[in-house]
Structure 1
Amino acid sequence: MAKTPLTPREVYQILRDLALGVRTMHRLGERTWTEIYCGLMTVEVDSWVLTFYNDCDTLEYCDSCYAPDGRAYIFDSSQRYGTDPVELLSTWEHQQLENLLSGK
């Protein structure tokens, strides 16, 4: 039986918790946000694995998210607005998350 995919709202809650400082993340891989500049960066948050797209040092979208229970969210550019968890963040939350990713 196939697992139900993660909803953007479920992934948003993890992003929001990060922005608020409720959860902490650990970068997976050697390269920093600035070194990547344009490309994917993967982090781990309490056994959740999230991959973000860095577009010229700007957090563009959440490419994927894998929950500890094996469910997943995968970005699809053909989906309508509001289906990317990053789009659900407030301006302040978005800036806080971007600062965390960049190490500021």
Structure 2
Amino acid sequence: MPCLNARDVCQRLRDAALGVYPLQPGASHSGAGQVQVDIEGWQLLLDFDGRHLHHCQSCRSAEGDVWQLDTRQRFGTDPVSLLSTWELAQIEKLLKEAV
């Protein structure tokens, strides 16, 4: 199965922050603090506590490509850590409105 990288997922989050694509709540919540969202066919599982976005757990593109958080790797492998402060604030605002 083809893989995505953190930059691919980050770009989709950036597009949502800029309003290029809408961020919509997903079909289900996967657990405490985890929110599933849809950005133009991409399914993202985010760790969001209601106020702050901590990281992205996983992502599946509309084409079926997959990205999974690997906590063993170093800084820069989580798409959320690649967002600017403004982009992160926009995503958190959108998540608060969606959830």
Determine if the TM-score, normalized by the shorter chain, exceeds 0.5: yes
Residue 55 of structure 1: CA displacement? 3.6
Matched-pair contact (CA < 8 Å) for 2:28–2:35? no
Deviations 1:20-60 (A, max 9, x none): 111102102466xxxx8x51100111111011001462100
CA distance in 2, matches of 1:15, 1:64: 13
1:94 aligns with 2:92: no
Report the AA paired with residue 28 of structure 1.
G
TM-score by length of 1: 0.84
Report percent identity of matched pairs.
Answer: 40
Summarize the Cα distance change of 1:30–1:49 in structure 2 as closer, same or farther, 3 Å threshold: closer
Residue 78 of structure 1: CA displacement? 1.0
Equivalent residue number for residue 12 of structure 1: 10
Larger CA deviation: 54-63 vs 18-27? 54-63
1:27 aligns with 2:21: no
Q: State the SS of the aligned residue for 1:96.
A: helix
Count matched residues. 97
Matches within 5 A, 1:74-85: 74-85=68-79
CA distance in 1, matches of 2:57, 2:15: 18
CA distance in 2, matches of 1:86, 1:50: 12
| Structure 1 residue runs without a partner (length 5+) | none
How large is the Cα RMSD of the aligned pairs? 1.8
| Structure 2 residue runs without a partner (length 5+) | none
Give 1 or 2 for the bigger CA radius of gyration: 1
CA distance in 2, matches of 1:18, 1:40: 18
Q: State the SS of the aligned residue for 1:68.
A: coil
Residue 77 of structure 1: CA displacement? 1.1
TM-score by length of 2: 0.88
Report the AA paired with residue 60 of structure 1.
H
